[in-house]
Each structure stands twice: as C-alpha cells, then as structure tokens.
Structure 1
Amino acid sequence: MSNTPDTAVRAYIDAHSAAFLDDLAEWLRIPSVSADPARAADVRRSAEWLAAKLTETGFPTVEIWETGTGSRSEETAAAAGTGTGAPAVFAEWPSGTPGAPTVLVYGHHDVQPAALEDGWRTDPFEPTTVDGKLYARGAADDKGQVFFHTLGVRAHLAATGRTAPAVNLKLLIEGEEESGSPHFPALIHDRAGRLACDAVIVSDTGMWSEDTPTVCTGMRGLTDCQIDLYGPDQDIHSGSFGGAVPNPATEAARLAAALHDGDRRVAVPGFYDGVVELTEAERELLAELPFDEKQWLRTAHSHGALGESGYSTLERVWARPTAEVNGIGGGYQGPGGKTIVPSTAQLKLSFRLVAGQDADAVQDSVRAWVAAALPEGIRHEITFWGTTRPCLTPLDHPALQSVVRAMGRAFGQKIRFTREGGSGPAADLQDVLGAPVLFLGISVPSDGWHAPNEKVELDLLMKGVETAAYLWGDLAENGRAGQ
C-alpha cells in the first residue's frame, strides 16, 4: 500500500544495509565486461550470481535467458554475424492480489572495460569505500541501481506485512547493454508474452545532482548512416579535368553544408514530421533546473553553445531532433599537396530523434534529400546502420506520478524532471510491450559512468532502496488510474 510507514521502511533498510552492501561488493568483483570475448565466462558468472541472489530475495521464478537463440534472435545474430549473445536474467514475483498491475524492472549486469592503467586509483574490480562513496566498475552503471531493488522489495514486504509485492513484479536484467544490446530487441520480441506488463521501470539512468533529485521522462532515438560518393573511376588531374567534372569530395562538403538552414534547423524535407513539441509547462519545468551553461561547456570541452534557434541548450539536447556530421573524408590526406579530383568521398551522419518521429520515414527523407542534391556524374550509396526509437512518458501519466511521489517521500523534497539526450533500449520495451517507460535512477554526473574511478554515493543508493520500497504500493493503488 502507498501508506507504507516510512519509519518502518527506513528501520528495515538501516538494519539490513550492511549485508546489502556486502552482497553488492561481491557482485561488483565479477568483471562482467560484455565487450571482451575473454570475459564471456565472467558475464555468465554475473548472471548466475544475480539469479541466485534474486531467488534468495524471494522471487519464486528466476531464469537465465540465453540470447542469440529463438526465431528472431537467431535471425538477428546471423545478420549481424554476432552468434550467441550474453545471458539475461528474468525474475517474476506474482502479487497474489486480484487485479494488481504488472511492473517490469529493466537494467543490465554487464559493465564497461576497466583497468588500473586507465587511471583508476583503486582496483576497479575490488570495491572500495571512501568518504561515503563506493568505488568500483558497475557501482552506478548499472549493478548498484539494479541491486537496490532487492533490498527495496524486502523493505516493502517488511513494512506492509505482505508476503508478496503489491504489484506483479518482474525483472529483466540484460547482459550486453554495454555492447549495444545487439540481441535485446529480438529477445523481447521472442519473450513478449512473459514480459507483458502495465509499466516498465528503467533503473539505468541518473538524477540532475545530489541536491536536485529528478525523474527522467524520455530518451531520444537514433539513426545513423554513411553516404559513399563516387565520381571519376580513378583520381584524375585537377588541372586537366578540374572544374569540368563533378568532384565527390566537393559534393560531400556541399551535403554537409546543406544539412542545416540559417536557423540551425535540419534542412532535410520532412525531417520534423510528427515531432511532439515541448509544451509551455514542460519548458517552464526544464527552466527550473539549476543549469550552469559555462560549467556545462567545460564538461563538453567546447568553447561555445550553438544550435536550433528559439530553444535553450537543455531543450536542444533533450527534446529536439538533431543532425550531426560525424565524419567527412575523401581524396588525398597525406603531407603536402596532390592536385587531383578524387574518385570517392564519404560522409557520416547521425540523427537524434524525438517522440513522434518515425525512423523509417526519416531514413526515406534522407535518401530523397541526398538523391535530389547530387549532380549527374556522382553515384552514391547510403548505408543505415540501425535504429533506436525515441520514448517519452507524459508528465501527467499516473504511473509517472507514482514514481515522483515515491521518490519525493524518500528524498523529502520536490522532484523535478529531466530528459536524456542519448539513446538506449528503453524504447524497444515501450514499442514491443506497449507499456509506458518510467525512469528510476539515483546516480549523479560525478559518478563517472564509463570513466576511471566510477562510484556511487551510498546515501543516494539507499534513497533508491527507499524509493523502490514505496513505489510498489503506490503503483498498485494509482499506477493504472485513468487508463
């Protein structure tokens, strides 16, 4: 129930936090680096460790799911040449309450590579606590944020006297997120029946800062491509032929220059079709955040802010679609000069997408734009590498409001809202399962995801535990209201 006594929750957490942290440290010692084939056994060991701990927590159903197998997964693996993937962990704990909503928690148990020589002050796979901070690879991304759900659900049960959660609780913890989740879309398609739910909680994100707790409401999507341009059949003399035949390097530069108009808007016709615009209320909420643009520029190693006219920096990176030139090349790149018209050139582009955009339609628009822009005598090929769809949960969604209330109880202050400028697998869950995606994370920017000396703030980690303890009762009472 949402009226879970706060004092009872906190007392349970205090009594069991030391054992919880000992268990987390044991898991963090497993170097589950999915990108390193030599660590495949460690990734599997990580999955097995988590499965055993979830059983110990009380989940009556715990399974290790192989990836790269099953109808869609095998097709995906064959097309990508990746073979069998890393194992995921699935767990399920029915509520026993008729009509209870079903909630799926998503996270990942694999981690980024790490070694002392990268600049770590301590062994990245020997957890070390200093001044209330736990240092280890995976401490924040994402083992710590996955694991707080185990103590959270136990605190929920202890404080309410229940023997099962107030919701039908499921967990899906994948093992190759840090390798791009190559088998994840196929896995959730193949297992959609087992994963069916009313809401998805993603605990693989963060907050604005230690002093400003926030809930993320959406992530941008992504599609990227390479455009190969072909002119003469070989490099030719620029004195004899230059100015009289098309130059693929020049055309690559012209395409790059034409990608945006004078207001820095993407100039590809049809690119903005369907975009869900920010409301004035959303813009006001984003403006409440204590954003220091000069500090942000320092973290970006940039000397100035620039983007689409009419939008703030946060609005540009969180809520607006973008196009970027990721690379451009062609012709002679060696020392000195070489007076040629090159035979080939390349342009690499990426497009961040927002809610309402259709990635297939964007790709079609880019193809048409390129074809119309190139002159006769230039052949071209466009290769799109993949698609990640955007996701967005409306601010007034009842399940989102449950997350906000639970987090507000744990932190004892107003919860504000953010979005993520990057992209991830959350949209696949939303699309396949037809459920809203809600983000519950307690990590902060200083935690150093993917960097040396990754850490998690222990007081914030316990706030995550407490939030989870309150959340299941609130979702049971309010999460499906008005749907």
Structure 2
Amino acid sequence: MTSPEREYVSAHLDDLHADLDAWLRIPSISADPAHAGDVAASAAWLAEALRRTGFPTVEVWPTPGAPAVYAEWPSADPDAPVALVYGHHDVQPVDPPELWVHPPFEPTVVDGPDGPELHARGAIDDKGNVAFHLLGMRAHLAASGRDTPAVTVKLLIEGEEESGSPHFADLLRERRDRLDCDVVVVSDTGMAAPHLPSAVTSMRGLADVELTLRGPAVDLHSGSFGGAVPNPLHAMARLLAALHDDQGRVTIPGFYDRVRPLSDRERELMGRVPFDEQEWLAGPAASRTTAGEAGFTTLERIGARPTAEVNGMWGGYQGPGHKTIIPAEAHAKLTFRLVADQRPQEIGPLVQSWVEANLPAGIEAEVHAPPAGVAPCASDLDSPWMDALLSAIAQAWDSRADDVLFLKEGGSGPEADLVEQLGAPLLFLGAGLPTDRIHSPNERVLLPMLHRAAEATAHLWRELAARRPA
C-alpha cells in the first residue's frame, strides 16, 4: 500500500534523521540546574526548526523554570478544527553514564532485529516524538497540495516535563487566549509493538510522599541502648511492609474509594493486546516474576490500576564497616500511581492518617506531600476525534481502524492540566515501544516507528478536518 503522504515521508527521511542528529546533541536535562543553558538552547533549536518547516508563528515562552516553545499554523479554512500538539523537549539525566554503550548525546544508528535504531538520550522521550511532526506537516501539505494545513495546528512543547512540569499549569492559565483548541494531540507515548498499530487511551496520575520517622534525639550506642528504646529504622521497615496486604492491595484506608472500576469493555479491549509475560519479564521488565494486585492481569496492573511504590529508603550509618548505633531518624520516598477518578491532592492526607494510626510508641512522623501532583486522564473512545486518530494510524500501518489496539499508559504527565485548563479532549499519538529503555541507559527509538508516525500525523490533519464540528 502507498499514499502521497507515505511517498513524501519516504523521500525525505534524511531530513528527519538530520534534525534528530542535531537536536539530540543538546543535553537538555531539566532536572540539573547546570544544564539550564542547554534546555534554553534546545528550545531555540526547536523554534528555528519550526520556522524552517513553515510555521508562520513561532515563539519561545519563558517560565520561572525552563522555556516552552509555541507555534501556530492557521488553516485557510475559517471553519477548520483546531488541534494542539503537546510534547516536551527536556530529557532525563543519563546516570549512570558508564552503562551507556554509546555516549548519550552522540546519536548513533545501530542495526537491530526490527530495523535501524537511533540511540541517544531523548531519542524517543520526547524529541523523536516531537520531531516526526515536522516531517508529518510537510508531508500533509505536499500530499494535499495545500499552502496551509487542513486544520489549524498549534504546538506547545514544554521544557520541564522530566522535572514534574512545575510551571506548566500556570503557563496554560497565562497563555489561555492563545491555546484555544478543539482537540489536544499528545505525542509523548507509544505503541504495543512495531507491527501492532495501537493508541494510548489513558494515563495514570501521580502523587508523591516523603516520610521521616524520628526516635531518640541523637544517634545512640546500640550496645548501651539497643533493645531499650525505639529504633526508627525498625519502625519504618514495619510501616512499609504493611503498605500492601497479601493480595497486593494498598492498605491505606480510603485509597480505593474513588477508583473507577474497569468496565467489561475496557478489560476486553486490553485483552486484545498481545502480551507474552515471560518475554516481558526477560526483556523490558528485567525481573524474575510478576507481582501485584490479585485479580488483575499484568497489563491491567501497569496501566489501569492504582499502585503504591517505595522508591527509596535510608537512615543510620551507610559507610564501610560497622557503626553500632540506633539512628535518630529514618526516611523513605513513596509514589502513588492513580487512575480515574482519584485525586492526587487527597493522597497526602490519607497517608498522614495511615502513618499516625500505625506508629509505635516513641516514634514521631513527618509526612511531606506536595499538594499538586498529577491527575489521571483519559480519551473518549467514542468521539469523532478518536475515529480520526484510529483512521490515521491504520493508514500508516496498512491496517483497519477497527484493528488498532487500545493501550493504557502506566506513566504520568501533565496531560490532565491540558484538559482542565483548555477543556479539550485528548488524543495520543506516539512512536515509542516498551523496549525503548525510556529513562534508562541506552535509550533508543526504532527509526521505522518514527517514519510511520510521521505518515500518521500527515493523515491525521486530513482526517480531523473531515470530522469538523457541526
């Protein structure tokens, strides 16, 4: 099968590859203040690339943190729908650097079993997912013979997603008059496998908590005081061990009160996704066995159920040899992935009450929970915009819209802010794969996935225009 969009993309792949080679060399690590200049340079690079593509309006929007990039290309059709593309240009830290086979900011093409792979930090998360829109827009215009896109296209590419998007909601409020749209296209996700056209339909929310337990006022000699005073590390170990019951459910009272149950339709749709659990364990999961909430499949656990995870715990002496003490303090970091209709701002108080109810005598607790967090979000499976997305993906993957699989993304991002501030429905179009080692050493993107995604976005603008509101 072929199409004018595919022919254009195929003839201009070198442009996409050259763009990524230049952009991925910029170490735009938003979490590290030492790279603030690099994040600004990344925004400037993208702004120039968008101008080169033909966007008549391109602006770099400052924030109290890292800059975002805004672009707009109005359709000549005054009644055309308006689509806003969301992504981010910042990247994760590269630690530990010694585990990278190739330098993380020297893009390297490697032959893989499914085709050529591009290895670099940000190759898919999220510079690759943004870059395919540059080629996709040009393919759309060339295929349609238009001077302007069939829909008005806006892009908002932020610079702090990998740092929790602390200023994103404020930016949306401040720039609200520029961001009106009918639909938001999120390009920060992926698909099930190279040969399986699929669309993400939801993302989980996120709340984080840091616990500090205090016992004696100072570190004490374990020989003189051990067995006679409370040990905060013992208390922390017992507390965290009680975070889940023997069925893998979170034990915090009230945690599941707002959880929307999975419908039979949702479970049936998720069940269509081919999933080899042993292959997943040996590959991206790098684990010996599965674990989690009883009564749910692994795919349901990681995409459609809420979780509580201990991300780190520390306290006392951690140097060489022994220091025989009872430590004064113990610490732990926890995160909670949330599903519809949970509210991140309610998790901190629930944890506070649970900790207070389970503290042993002589131990004091401090629970620090940032008030904002990230809310969960989801697409409307029955909207005409979703029909347009499925049709675009199907054309790029030589498939049928009815055969496009639905995925639930286990990760979290600021997409709920877009829904809340702009009041527009979400679509997800991304080219990532579970094997792309996102956030890990040796991040990669499968280049054929980017090529197909560029074609899909070229189809998408035409398909959205055909479904304009009445």
TM-score for both structures, normalised by structure 1: 0.86
Please tell me whether residue 209 in structure 1 is matched to residue 193 in structure 2.
yes
- Give the C-alpha shift of residue 104 in structure 1: 0.8
Letter of the aligned partner of 2:90 in structure 1?
A: D
Where in structure 2 are the equivalents of 1:458-473 lying within 5 Å?
458-473=447-462
What is residue 339 of structure 2 aligned with on the other side?
Answer: 354
User: Who is 1:93 aligned against?
Assistant: 73
Q: In structure 2, what is the equivalent of residue 292 of structure 1?
A: 276
Q: Which runs of 5 or more structure 1 residues have no equivalent in the other structure? A: 69-84
Q: Deviations over 1:124-147 (max 9, x none)?
A: 444444443334433322222212
1:317 aligns with 2:293: no
Deviates further, 261-270 or 460-469: 261-270
Amino acid at match of 2:308: A
- Which letter does structure 2 place at the counterpart of 1:89? V
Q: What corresponds to 1:155 in structure 2?
A: 139
For 1:252, what is the secondary structure of its paired residue?
helix
Residue in 2 that maps onto 1:27: 23
Distance 1:265 1:127, change over 3 A: closer
1:404-443 map, 5 Å:
404-413=390-399, 414-443=403-432
**How far apart are the structure 2 equivalents of 1:28 and 1:252?**
42
Question: Partner of 2:163 in structure 1?
Answer: 179
Does the CA contact (< 8 Å) of 1:134 and 1:455 recur in 2?
Answer: yes
1:8 matched residue in structure 2: 4
The counterpart of 1:108, out of the listed 72, 77, 88, is 88
Residues 434-475 of structure 1: CA distance to partner in whole angstroms, max 9, x if unpaired?
222221111223333344444333322121111011111222
Pick the aligned partner of 2:244 from 242, 257, 260.
260
* Aligned mates of 2:244, 2:350 — CA distance in 1: 14
User: 1:234, 1:30 → 2: CA distance?
Assistant: 46
Alignment check: 8 A CA contact 1:286 1:314 kept:
yes
1:383 matched residue in structure 2 = 368
Superposed CA deviations along residues 170-229 of structure 1, whole A, max 9, x for unmatched, are 001122333333332322222222222222111122111112222111111111112222
1:198/1:120 Cα in 2 relative to 1: closer, same or farther (>3 Å)?
A: same
The aligned counterpart of 1:50 is 46
The residue type paired with residue 410 of structure 1 is: A
Return the alpha-carbon distance in structure 1 between the equivalents of residues 223 and 33 of structure 2: 52
Q: 1:81 maps to which residue?
A: none
Q: How many residues align?
A: 460
CA distance in 2, matches of 1:282, 1:113: 35
- The CA deviation at 1:371 is 2.2
SS at match of 2:310: strand
Quote the Cα distance in structure 1 between the aligned partners of 2:101 and 2:169: 37
Residues 85, 187 of structure 2: 8 Å contact kept? yes
More displaced 10-residue stretch of structure 1: 132-141 or 305-314: 132-141
Using the aligned pairs only, state the percent identity: 55
Counterparts in 2 of 1:375 and 1:153: CA distance versus 1, 3 Å? same
Q: Distance in 2 between matches of 1:237 and 1:46?
A: 53
Tell me, yes or no, if structure 1 residue 280 matches structure 2 residue 280. Answer: no
Question: CA deviation digits over 1:38-94, x for unaligned, max 9?
Answer: 4433332322222122122221211011111xxxxxxxxxxxxxxxx2221100112
- Give the distance between the partners of 1:446 and 1:229, measured in 2 at CA: 38
Q: Secondary structure at the match of 2:190?
A: coil
Aligned to 1:190: 174
How far apart are residue 113 of structure 1 and its match? 4.7
Structure-2 change in CA distance of 1:56 and 1:344 (3 Å)? closer
Residue 248 to residue 44, structure 1, CA distance change in 2 (3 Å) = closer
| Alpha-carbon distance change, 14 to 261 in structure 1, aligned in 2, over 3 angstroms | closer
Matched, 1:456 2:445: yes
Give the gaps of 5 or more residues in structure 2. Answer: none
Name the structure 1 match of 2:289.
304
Q: How does 1:320-339 map to 2 (within 5 A)?
A: 320-330=305-315, 335=321, 338=324
Q: Which amino acid aligns with 2:381?
A: L
Change (3 A) 1:292 1:171: same
Q: Which residue number in structure 2 is paired with residue 477 of structure 1?
A: 466
**Structure 1 stretch 220-229 or stretch 312-321: which is displaced more?**
220-229
SS of residue paired to 1:223: strand
Structure 1 position 393 matched with structure 2 position 383: no
SS at match of 1:447: coil
What SS does the corresponding residue of 1:350 show, helix, strand or coil? strand
Deviations 1:219-254 (A, max 9, x none): 111111122223343456778877776554443333
Q: Which residue of 1 aligns with 2:435?
A: 446
Contact 1:116–1:124 (Cα < 8 Å) also in 2: no
Maintained 8 Å contact 1:402/1:479? no
The C-alpha deviation readout for 1:296-342, integer Å capped at 9, x for no partner, is 223333222121111111111111111123344455667558475x5
Rounded to whole Å, the distance in 2 between the matches of 1:138 and 1:338 is 45
Computed over aligned residues only, the root mean square deviation of the Cα atoms, in angstroms, reads 2.9
Q: For 2:294 and 2:304, how far apart are their aligned partners in 1?
A: 14
Q: Higher mean Cα deviation, 35-44 or 306-315?
A: 35-44
1:78 — aligned with what?
A: none
CA distance in 1, matches of 2:167, 2:265: 38
Alpha-carbon contact 2:125-2:438 (below 8 Å) kept = yes
Amino acid at match of 1:364: P
